[in-house]
Structure formats: structure tokens, C-alpha cells
Chain A
Amino acid sequence: MNEPGVLTGSHFTHGDWACAEGAIAAGCGYFAAYPITPATEISERIATRFPLLGRRFVQFEDEIGAIASVIGASFSGMKSMTATSGPGLSLMLENIGLAVMTEAPCVIVNVMRGGPSTGQPTMGAQGDVMQCKWGAHGDTEIIALAPQSVQENFDLTVKAFNLSETYRTPVFLLSDANIGHMYEKLVIPEEEKIEILSRKKPLVSPGDYKPYMADESLVPPMACFGEGYRFYSTGLTHDELGYPNMGVDAQDKLVRRLCDKIRVNTDKITLTEETYTEDCDVLVVAYGVTARSAASAVQKARKEGIKAGLFRLITLWPFPEKKLWETASKVKGVVVSEMNYGQLVREVERAVKPVPVEFLGKLGENPPSPNEILAKIRRLDQ
């Protein structure tokens, strides 16, 4: 097989294609999914490429099976991914909780579309921002990244794998129908210039291995099936040996560690991008495709002499509230622009209190336009 894993060079392509190639470049060896608009093109690209690379693609009977098999493959030593949209994400939630509880590294791509329910399958939206964070029952922390371009669909898919392997957690790529189906330039770097991280392996002999004992990093080394460690793992609350434990202390200790391994590393995990924020009076907060519109609005405001700045969230979860406060604490007001009826704005309001926040939300296909965002900027600048 001479098929290259990394298609180094320039491409004119769409976001779903870029996402599939990002997974391949990151070393994804197992991909399972159920067809769903607007994520299907990821499966189609994977189905074409994986057999040539000797990797494994399974089209499942539903999204529940797809995510369960991804967790099984992850524990078999594979970097594993699934891709879906809102209705599929809803079906996956219980097993996303299993991945959190058993600490299975995996990547879940959610190409967001209009909801609730079947909604608008071909129209973009940002309506699953809260669901991916809070959808699984119990206390969970996950990581979510929001690409704004075809290029970032590639780059952040690689990043999603690296984060999932580092922290042994499900990582979401929150793309949307606009980015997934958008055609633009993609540059894939040379293979050796792409950073690839893999899970920490146990250094002790099988007899001494405790699958859920973590050091100060709070992330336990991960043995995989067939390596001779003969470990047991369960979705039940468990002790360091992985054995079920129905004690109050066991629940407290385990759930705190599972959440804290993400929370205490928030600064290390989170990526943000700031434009014109050194001197700004009005700050626009946006993410994903909406940030492109917001960037244009900020440019227009500057031309009018309004000191506007853009704070783009690349990582949505964990929420980078400290970084946001550092910038937002100096401004007159904050505009939050999203393709929903008000989701991440709640986090922003919490983080920037008492700075006034104006919300601009649009439901259905297009993000708020630059002029609509500009009108909000003008109001807050008065």
C-alpha cells in the first residue's frame, strides 16, 4: 500500500473533507458512524481512504452503536472517531458519559444543524453548544473546539485527537453545516510538521497496574486490551483498581478527579484569538462560522472610529473565563453573537459580570450579519 496518510499540499475542498483528512493525519485508525446530514461527507471520505491505509471504517446501524464501538476500539489501542449531527448526538449521549467515566480517548465530530428534533438538516446552527457540555447525565467535563474555516476543520481535528489522548477524554469538534459544506483553500502541512500526541502508557508490570490510579496530572496511564494487563473497566463508580464501589467517598473522589483533570488544565487546554483588543471599548465574542461575520463587523466599526475588538473562542469547553475576563474587564460592553437563541452568552455573562452584555442570536442557516453586529457595537459604544 503506497497510499499516503498525509496529503501534504494545497487543496480546494470542503470542511467535512478537511475533517476526515485531519483525522487520518492524526493517526485515527478506527471510525464508526451512521449517515446523517450534514456530516455524511466525513464518512464518505473516510470510507474511500481507510481501506487504502489498512484502517477500519464501520457504518453502524445507529449512532448509539457507533459511539459504543468507538469506545471499544479506543480501549483496543486505536485512535477512534465518530461524526454526526444533532439527532445523532442526542442518541450518543449515554455512551459519551461512559467514555468520560471510563476515560476513553475519542473524538466526536458534530456538524451542527438546526434543531430541536429533525429541524433543518441542511442548515447550519450553533444549537448544540450546551448539549455537548451538559448532555450526558451526572457531572462531566469535556473538551469542545469550534473551527471557523475549512483549514481549521483540519487543524482542530488533529488538535482534538491530541487533547483526547492527553487527557483521556471525549473531545468534540463543533463544526456546522456552513463550515462542513463550505469550499475554500486548505493547506495540509508536511507530515513531520504535524504534532501528534498519544496516550500515556503504564510503566509498571501488569501485576502492579491499577487502571484508575492517577499521578498529579490526574490522568491515569492507559493499558489496552491484549497487552497483558488484564484490567477491568466499568461505567459504575469505581476505585483505582477499576472495581465497582458504591461508597459515598468513592463517588466523590472519582467524579472530582474526572472533572478536575480538565478544570485545572483550563489555561493549558483553551485556545482563543484576539483581534484589536489592546485598546477596545466594545468587545465582540464569537466562535465558529459566526466569528467570520464578527471579524467583518469589527473592521467596519474601526473604520467608523469605534474601538471594537474581537475575542474568538476556539475552545468552547472548558470555557476560558479567566482569559475572557482579562480582556472584557476593561471594556464598556460585550456583544455575543451566536447562531442560536442564547447559549454560550450565559457563560459570557457569568464571566464578565458586571460588564453589560448584548446578545445577538440568529436561528436558521446564516450567522448574524456584519451590519447587525455593527448595530449592537454602536449601541454599546454610546
Chain B
Amino acid sequence: MTEHIEHYLAKYLRMDRLPHIWCSGCGLGIILKSYVQALYELDYDLDKIVTVSGIGCAGRASGYVNTDAFHTTHGRALPFATGISVSNPELKPVVISGDGDLFAIGGNHLIHAARRNINMLVICSNNFNYGMTGAQYGPTTPPDIRTPTSPYGNTENPFNLVSLVASSGATMVSRWTVYHVHQLKNSIKKGLQKKGFSFIEVLSPCTTGYGRLNKMSPIDMMRDLKETSRIRKVNPTEATIEPGREVILGDFVDVEKPTYSDVLDQVSRRASI
């Protein structure tokens, strides 16, 4: 007779929802594992977390985590999380969503949530395309990349996510990849403990769409994350992602500022005098 031993992370996941829907070789499973591992290592009170996501492949992440969780409309995870953070400052919203959700349809909310310094952690899975709808180009796709909506090569310039978020006023901005699992997990731990708007960009392969269309095997994509990246301390404006150039990883911003809720409390006190 074999004894059933529960996995040490089982209580952090909705085991009745597994296996997840993500493709083989996709980085989202690693991001999810890193998140729950961080919660486990911090022994974080799960009743103080709300996992929020938008729409797309990454949007499904909120459904697998055993915290209060909400799957919002496309691009609106951040204002939804703002409503949580402002109305109950005891709660820490953690947004897990994709680059298209957070920077295209939801881009306006992102810069404003960072500007207000809403207390939340945003984990952005950047796979350089719209994976769920079939690998169309998006606001992070490098020039010349072929996708179903850029069949002759992408003609648009991509955002530098860490630079954009840093200049919007975030208190923590970092970039890692799903190859750098320990650094990623530690970064999430730091973000969970940080008071303020914390942002982690996680470079993650989309093997089924982006990789297949551009003739990159899953192994090549993971090897690229390892071999083209360098951990360096630079100004985020210099951390652009361009073909043939090294990709800078690490922490770009780590400062302390009063959160939006702190400021509202100060205003309440000032108005009442």
C-alpha cells in the first residue's frame, strides 16, 4: 500500500483545476510555480492576497491559485486591483497578466496605477505576442518578426516595459526570465513585501505561436533566454530588447514612497482638522 503524500505547494493551488491549459514549453507554469513558491517561503497569509488577472493565456493564472482571485475583462486587471487596494489596504493585490493585456489594451491603466503608487505587485509575462488569439504581433514584438497579422515582418517599434513603468513612478521595477527561476522567485518575494507599486517583467517563451512561426524550437527559445541575457545595473532607458543585442536583467528601481492609501489617509486627517 502506498501512502498519499500531498505536495508541499498543494495548499497554494486549486488542485481541482489542474492540469492547467498552457502549452508544453510555455513559461507561464514556471511563473505560477515561482509565485506560489514565494508565498510558501514567506509563509504569506493567503487570506491577505487577491490574485487578479486580465485576459489571455496569463489571464488564466488567477484561476489556479488558492487565494481570493478574480479574472477581469481584457486590460482591466489594474483598475480592478486599484479598487481592492484602495478600499481595503490590508489586502495585497497581485496581478498576473500578459504584455498585451497590460501594455496594449490596458496600457493607460498601467501608467496611472504606477503614477498613483497603488500598493500592488504586477507580474507581467512578456512573450512578445498575443498568444491566446494565435500569435499576432503586439506592443512588445521586436521589428521584422513575422506573425499572422505581420506576415511580411513587424513594422512597429516595441515598448521598453521597464523604462515605461520606471518613468511612470513605480517603487520597484525588475526584469527576469523564466530561465532565471531563483532570481524570479526572490524578486516576487521582494515585491510581495514591498509597499507600493511593484512591477516584474518576466520574459517567457511562446513556443506554439511565436516560436513556431519564427522557426525557433522550444529548446532554442529557452537557451536564448540564458545566453543573450546579462544581469547588470543600468538605467532602465538603456534596457531595450533588440535582436542581436544582450538583454539586461535585474533590478532597475527600488525606492520607498508613500502608497496611494497612505496619502488618502493623510488627506482625511488634514481635511478633518
Chain A positions near chain B (C-beta within 8 angstroms):
1, 3, 29-30, 32, 51-52, 54, 56, 58, 60-62, 64-66, 68-78, 80, 94-95, 97-98, 102, 225-236, 243-244
Q: How far is the CA of A214 from the CA of B14 in the complex (A)?
A: 22
Q: Is the CB of A64 within 8 A of B79?
A: yes
Q: Which has the most chain B C-beta neighbours within 10 Å: A29, A72, A97, A231?
A: A72
Partner of A94, one of B50, B71, B73, B86: B73
B90 adjacent to chain A (CB < 8 Å): yes
Q: How far is the CA of A232 from the CA of B86 in the complex (A)?
A: 20
Given contacts A52-B271, A68-B73, contact A230 B67 (CB under 8 A): yes
Q: Whole-angstrom distance from the CB of A374 to the nearest CB of chain B? A: 48
Determine the chain B residues whose CB is within 8 A of the CB of A80 once the complex forms: 83, 87
Q: Is the CB of A226 within 8 A of B69?
A: no
Q: Is the CB of B84 within 8 A of A51?
A: no
Q: Mark B138-182, 1 if CB is under 8 A from A, else 0.
A: 000000000000000000000000000000000000000000000
Q: Is the CB of B88 within 8 A of A76?
A: yes
Q: How far is the CA of A29 from the CA of B88 in the complex (A)?
A: 11
Q: Whole-angstrom distance from the CB of B133 to the nearest CB of chain A? A: 15
Q: How far is the CA of A75 from the CA of B68 in the complex (A)?
A: 10
Q: How far is the CA of A232 from the CA of B108 in the complex (A)?
A: 26
Q: Is the CB of B87 within 8 A of A29?
A: yes
Partner of A68, one of B69, B72, B86: B72
B46 adjacent to chain A (CB < 8 Å): yes
Q: Is the CB of B63 within 8 A of A72?
A: no
Partner of B91, one of A98, A225, A231, A235: A225
- B47's nearest neighbour on chain A, judged by CB, is A228
Q: Is the CB of A72 within 8 A of B83?
A: yes
Q: Which of under 10, 10 to 19, 20 to 34, or 35 or more describes the interface residues of B?
A: 35 or more
B194 adjacent to chain A (CB < 8 Å): no
Partner of A1, one of B66, B69, B81, B272: B272
Q: Is the CB of A230 within 8 A of B80?
A: no
Given contacts A64-B79, A72-B82, A77-B88, contact A3 B272 (CB under 8 A): yes
Partner of B108, one of A3, A62, A243: A62
Q: Is the CB of B87 within 8 A of A95?
A: no
Q: Mark B200-244, 1 if CB is under 8 A from A, else 0.
A: 000000000000000000000000000000000000000000000
- A64's nearest neighbour on chain B, judged by CB, is B76
Q: Is the CB of A234 within 8 A of B70?
A: yes
Q: Is the CB of A51 within 8 A of B267?
A: yes
Given contacts A51-B264, A51-B268, A68-B79, contact A56 B50 (CB under 8 A): no
B48 adjacent to chain A (CB < 8 Å): yes
Q: How far is the CA of A81 from the CA of B264 in the complex (A)?
A: 18
B112 adjacent to chain A (CB < 8 Å): yes
Q: Is the CB of B48 within 8 A of A226?
A: yes
15 pairs, A vs B, C-beta closer than 8 Å: A1-B272, A51-B272, A52-B272, A56-B264, A62-B108, A65-B112, A68-B83, A74-B83, A80-B87, A225-B50, A230-B66, A233-B69, A233-B70, A234-B70, A243-B16
Determine the chain A residues whose CB is within 8 A of the CB of B272 once the complex forms: 1, 3, 51-52
Q: How far is the CA of A97 from the CA of B66 in the complex (A)?
A: 26
Q: Is the CB of A69 within 8 A of B71?
A: no
Partner of B82, one of A58, A77, A233: A58
Q: Is the CB of A69 within 8 A of B86?
A: yes
Q: Is the CB of B84 within 8 A of A72?
A: yes
Q: How far is the CA of A236 from the CA of B69 in the complex (A)?
A: 13
B109 adjacent to chain A (CB < 8 Å): yes
Given contacts A51-B271, A65-B112, A68-B83, contact A75 B47 (CB under 8 A): no
